[in-house]
Structure 1
Amino acid sequence: MNQTTKSPLLLRTRGMAAEIAARLRDMIDEGELPPGARIDEKELSTAFDVSKTPLREALKVLVSEGRVTHRQYIGYRVAEIDLGDLAATFELLHGLEAMAGELVGERITHAQVAAIAAKHRRMVECHDAGKRVEYFKLNQQIHQMIVDAAGNPVLANVYSTLMAKVHRGRGAANADTLRWAESANEHDAILAALEDPAHEGLAEILREHSRNTAREVLAVLTRAKGDAPAASIGDRAREKASG
């Protein structure tokens, strides 16, 4: 028998594991599964209607990514967020946002402004409809589009990498933050500045928006640190699977 051939059972298990990992990854990154929450394998197996084999394979993947921790005799937990590292990363992002704002005024095209405006309208619709997760995703896409429009690929790549580092922190805070309406208003000001060629304050608007976001994210995560989740992992997984 060819030793490199994978059995159908193994392939199916790995396929299920990848799907489970993707679902749990989204739930962790968007804040549905909060930092420090205990992961009950039995609850998750029931919620996803799978055996423990593909579930454990999925959890191993998330452990390797740093989203989940595992300790013998204790089990799996959603990884805590290092608030010091998060704060330091935000400090860099403030400067990158401002730099992008300075460059965008000279380099952004009408087509790019129109694309950002269209994405902004979709984001506002999600805000009005109370679709917080969808709003959050569009919000991040808009920020990356603005940085990309600065026309500096090194800046765009560094910004994308750092945003990926703060994504889970922003998602965890986004589940509870009261700054949602304020943030939406700040995005209105950002778009107005982009649409006005004579506007010279975009860099400072972006910097202040980034600072406000960081301040709220860090405050929410600090308050939540050590708090018990309102619902069990299994409850949240079942909601995700049914949705």
Structure 2
Amino acid sequence: MNQSNATPLLLRTRGMAAEIAARLRVMIDEGEMPPGARIDEKEMCAAFDVSKTPLREALKVLVSEGRVTHRQYNGYRVAAIDLDDLASTFEMLHGLETMAGELVQQRVSGTQLAAIGAKHRRMAECHNAGKRLEYFRLNQQIHQMIVDAAANPVLSTIYATLMSKVHRARGAANTDMLRWSESMEEHEAILAALDDPTHADLPQILRAHSENTAREVLAVLNRTRTDTAPARDAGMMPEVSGEPEEVAGSNQR
């Protein structure tokens, strides 16, 4: 057996699969592919200009991560979001935001304040230009920067882990957010509290912003799930790669 010829092909396939998985991961996490969306293999192969082999390898990785589900005869779908788990995660984040604000009062440095302010100004520019996706990414970075300024590595690690759990939900809701301007105003209040030498109102402002975000994200996802349920129940979703649809109601959001 001539392994010297087979190995490079295998490595190229795995390399392509990793790249496809990374690109799909971003599309899912940032809401371009919403929860419950059917993944059409033919369309994806055409979009990435690849065969089905690396695409399916990539999808297997995303299945193992919980971002994608697969059922025989029903194909691949973006995984639903567990709203009960999401609500519980947000509750934890509210407390962490408050704790971070309290610690920042005592520990934040001038250099950190300047970096957060610069990032905030970039985010405001994206808001004014209607660049929602870039705004969303900068928003996430600012929150982590504030938590990191609390100078508690355990807090930073736990916060980052929980934020990764809600990132996809926030991305899914981000395409339908009605309170974008309100969120921007809340970030202005956060920056003003940071600029205050005492930072006295920061813990309360951070918590209120976290609670408002959670309320909107959960409302949008609940509304989306309700609005799309009749189409699924009626079997109106299109087929994937020519495979027949399963009984209506399976794998729903």
Instruction: Say yes or no: TM over 0.5.
Output: yes
Give the distance between the partners of 2:115 and 2:209, measured in 1 at CA.
21
2:96 match: 96
Corresponding position: 1:41 with 2:32: no
Q: Which string of whole-angstrom CA distances, capped at 9 and with x for unpartnered residues, describes residues 147-202 of structure 1?
A: 01011111111111100110000000011111111101100000111011134111
- Alpha carbons of structure 1 residues 7 and 150: separation in structure 2 relative to 1, 3 Å: same
1:68 match: 68
1:26 match: 26
2:208 match: 208
Matched letter for residue 122 of structure 1:
R
Give the distance between the partners of 2:35 and 2:148, measured in 1 at CA.
31
2:194 match: 194
Q: Which string of whole-angstrom CA distances, capped at 9 and with x for unpartnered residues, describes residues 118-146 of structure 1?
A: 00011011111111111111001100000
Give the distance between the partners of 2:2 and 2:150, measured in 1 at CA.
53
TM-score, scaled to structure 1: 0.91
Deviation at 1:2, TM superposition (A): 8.8
2:175 match: 175
Matched letter for residue 181 of structure 2:
A
1:112 match: 112
Give the distance between the partners of 2:206 and 2:91, measured in 1 at CA.
13
Give the distance between the partners of 1:164 and 1:119, measured in 2 at CA.
20
1:143 match: 143
Give the distance between the partners of 2:2 and 2:189, measured in 1 at CA.
63
Highest RCO, 1 vs 2 (Cα 8 Å, sep ≥ 6):
1
* Local SS of the residue matching 2:31: coil
Aligned residues: 231
Matched letter for residue 187 of structure 1:
H
Give the distance between the partners of 1:84 and 1:4, measured in 2 at CA.
51
Matched letter for residue 96 of structure 1:
L
Give the distance between the partners of 2:2 and 2:185, measured in 1 at CA.
62
1:239 match: none
Give the distance between the partners of 1:43 and 1:147, measured in 2 at CA.
41
Deviation at 1:4, TM superposition (A): 9.9
Q: Which string of whole-angstrom CA distances, capped at 9 and with x for unpartnered residues, describes residues 11-65 of structure 1?
A: 1111111111111110000000000011111111112111101100010010011
Deviation at 1:5, TM superposition (A): 9.2
Give the distance between the partners of 1:175 and 1:5, measured in 2 at CA.
46
Superposition CA RMSD, Å: 1.9
Matched letter for residue 110 of structure 1:
G
Give the distance between the partners of 2:156 and 2:124, measured in 1 at CA.
25
- Alpha carbons of structure 1 residues 204 and 2: separation in structure 2 relative to 1, 3 Å: farther
* Local SS of the residue matching 2:77: strand
Give the distance between the partners of 1:204 and 1:75, measured in 2 at CA.
46
Q: Which string of whole-angstrom CA distances, capped at 9 and with x for unpartnered residues, describes residues 85-130 of structure 1?
A: 0000000000100011011011000000000000001101111111
Give the distance between the partners of 1:173 and 1:104, measured in 2 at CA.
29
- Alpha carbons of structure 1 residues 222 and 113: separation in structure 2 relative to 1, 3 Å: same
Give the distance between the partners of 2:116 and 2:49, measured in 1 at CA.
41
Give the distance between the partners of 2:196 and 2:5, measured in 1 at CA.
61
1:85 match: 85
